[in-house]
């Protein structure tokens, strides 16, 4: 970083983090796997078989492209200018790709990709492909980048972190640190409409653990089953961001309107939860909110079919005053002064386990996920998952399901069958219904062992997918069962993860699809039964 030319510092930071632009930038490359693979085959003069063979061997398209070009010694295309590829070249190409939209955009993007990949060496091609596809998994996250900037330019780490939080742009922070040093970072101001990374919560096992961790007294809030949002308001302009820092304002126009009209502050950065609600006002399952979120182009229909409601729970800035260094209890008090008619998430402050238990049961009874516990004296730490915020959810009964197919993974997992199709048996017919898919829960050793087992049970192959005899039973945890047209049975597990392999169980002892349907129906004892799908 210290030796990078000043003109390239920003882009080096973005590329190392695996993205073409700063995280607040709404531009996208919109480059598909098909486009990139087509360019690779054209430049290297290989067919589908060769590409798939390299892909199966390496686990991802970037590594496969590197191997193909290295084997063929195609370091540069003779038809192109023989010059070293520079960061500036890459930056210009990425910007050009992002600007290409509309009719003929695919072909023009392919020409730009041919030009830039044609100048690249095999190892450069590997990482360019990963960046283009959003698959740069180097483990080099923003926290490490902040530390690197601190060490490279002799600036205190906390100064770098605060500048990063306020500006929302680590590239800009690095450039300022290189050109002007520590003092320039201390002068960086908060930038509206550049979202702050959210503070995160750790899982807790019990209410007793929560109280002990927080020193015997804590604030408890309902954990709503919706979309966490960060809201920026500056005068009459309001924008809404998801927890992934994506602008979702167009998906929630009534939330935007509510904040404009109801919030009693000229400037504010707030956090809240948007939930879908039924005709009776009770929460709908999360999948309905996601259905609305995905159907931006059908805004009028979805607004009528799936109403949403905003609940606020934190305040990070108000009328020029930054509150992230203030204790949680003070931020909550300030929120109570400005929220107006916008509801806030229900909260209690307690030091009693029985009181906490009653509040938790109330949250579940009203159809929420559980509770969030917040240390009364904790400051807001963007991007950090710590014990100052703890979450406790309702524990659903695990299901014993059968693996009926699996896919070889990517990257580190490319040698293992590590993405598993989970099925419930039909208690009346001799067949299995897939109800979900997961790659979560198992150790490397367990995946290696399971790959060996499943390969012996293979009955059919489709590319990297292996269909197997339904003999391996796994215990599966999940958050919810939801309707899904993706699977024949019409249901799917949400956030499925394997808790253990049940080699001791026979497939005939696994849970039935009838049991899955029973659990699905039972959910509506607490959640609204609003038939959203009938409205489309």
User: Among 419, 407, 422, which Cα is nearest to 463's?
Assistant: 407
**367 within 8 A of 282, measured Cβ to Cβ:** yes
Task: Please list the residues that pair with 392 across neighbouring strands.
Answer: 371
Tokens of 463: 């590319």
| Nearest-angstrom CA–CA distance, 63 and 75 | 15
Tokens of 188: 């960086």
| Nearest-angstrom CA–CA distance, 113 and 62 | 14
* Chain centre distance of CA 391: 18
Q: Residue 520 CB: number of other CB atoms within 10 A?
A: 19
Pairing relationship of beta strands 370-374 and 385-393 according to DSSP bridges: antiparallel
Who's near 32: CB < 8 A, 6+ residues apart? Answer: none
| Nearest-angstrom CA–CA distance, 443 and 400 | 19
Give the helix/strand (H/E) hosting 239: strand 237-242
| Nearest-angstrom CA–CA distance, 522 and 491 | 14
Active site residues per annotation: 223
Per DSSP, 344 falls in state B
| Long-range contacts of 492-498, Cβ-Cβ distance < 8 Å, separation of 24 or more | 492/435, 492/436, 493/399, 493/422, 493/435, 493/436, 494/286, 494/287, 496/422, 496/436, 496/437, 496/438, 496/440, 497/438, 497/440, 497/441, 498/420, 498/438, 498/440, 498/441, 498/442, 498/474
DSSP calls for 279-311: TTSPBPPHHHHHHHHH-GGGHHHHHHHS-EEEE
| Nearest-angstrom CA–CA distance, 174 and 191 | 16
Inter-CA distances, 221 with 465, 488, 496, Å: 43, 38, 25
């Amino acid at each position: 970083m210290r030796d990078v030319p000043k003109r390239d510092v920003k882009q080096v930071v973005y590329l190392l983090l695996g993205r073409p632009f700063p995280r607040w930038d709404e531009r996208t490359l919109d480059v598909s796997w098909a486009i990139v693979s087509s360019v690779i085959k054209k430049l290297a003069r290989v067919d589908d078989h060769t590409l798939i063979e390299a892909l199966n061997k390496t686990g991802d398209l970037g590594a496969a492209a590197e191997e193909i070009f290295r084997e063929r010694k195609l370091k540069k295309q003779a038809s192109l200018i023989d010059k070293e590829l520079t960061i500036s070249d890459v930056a210009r190409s990425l910007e050009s790709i992002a600007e290409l939209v509309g009719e003929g955009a695919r072909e023009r993007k392919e020409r730009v990709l041919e030009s830039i990949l044609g100048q690249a060496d095999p190892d450069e091609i590997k990482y360019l492909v990963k960046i283009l596809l959003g698959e740069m998994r180097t483990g080099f996250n923003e926290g490490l980048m902040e530390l690197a900037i601190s060490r490279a330019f002799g600036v205190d780490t906390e100064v770098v972190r605060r500048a990063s939080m306020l500006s929302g742009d680590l590239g800009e922070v690095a450039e300022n640190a290189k050109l002007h040093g520590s003092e320039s970072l201390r002068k960086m101001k908060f930038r509206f409409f550049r979202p702050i990374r959210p503070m995160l919560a750790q899982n807790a096992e019990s209410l007793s653990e929560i109280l002990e961790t927080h020193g015997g007294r804590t604030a408890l809030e309902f954990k709503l089953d919706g979309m966490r949002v960060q809201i920026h308001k500056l005068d009459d302009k309001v924008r809404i961001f998801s927890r992934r820092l994506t602008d979702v304002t167009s998906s929630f126009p009534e939330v935007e309107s509510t904040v404009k009209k109801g919030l009693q502050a000229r400037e504010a950065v707030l956090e809240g939860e948007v939930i879908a609600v039924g005709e009776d006002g009770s929460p709908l399952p999360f999948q309905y909110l996601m259905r609305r979120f995905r159907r931006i182009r059908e805004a009028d229909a979805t607004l009528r079919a799936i109403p949403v409601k905003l609940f606020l729970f934190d305040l990070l800035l108000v009328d020029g005053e930054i509150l992230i260094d203030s204790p949680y209890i003070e931020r909550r008090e300030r929120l109570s002064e400005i929220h107006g008619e916008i509801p806030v998430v229900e909260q209690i402050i307690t030091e009693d386990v029985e009181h906490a238990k009653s509040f938790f049961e109330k949250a579940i009874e009203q159809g929420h996920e559980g509770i969030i516990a917040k240390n009364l004296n904790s400051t807001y730490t963007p991007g950090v998952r710590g014990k100052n915020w703890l979450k406790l959810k309702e524990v659903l009964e695990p299901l014993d399901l059968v693996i009926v197919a699996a896919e070889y993974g990517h990257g580190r997992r490319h040698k293992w069958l590590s993405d598993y199709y989970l099925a419930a048996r039909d208690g009346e017919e001799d067949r299995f219904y897939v109800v979900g898919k997961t790659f979560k829960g198992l150790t490397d050793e367990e995946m290696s062992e399971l790959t060996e087992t499943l390969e012996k049970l293979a009955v059919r192959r489709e590319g990297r997918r292996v269909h197997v005899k339904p003999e391996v039973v796994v215990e599966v945890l999940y958050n919810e069962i939801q309707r899904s047209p993706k699977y024949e049975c019409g249901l799917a597990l949400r956030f499925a993860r394997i808790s253990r392999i049940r080699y001791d169980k026979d497939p005939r002892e696994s849970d039935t699809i009838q049991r899955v349907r029973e659990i699905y129906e039972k959910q509506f004892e607490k959640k609204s039964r609003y038939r959203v799908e009938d409205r489309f």
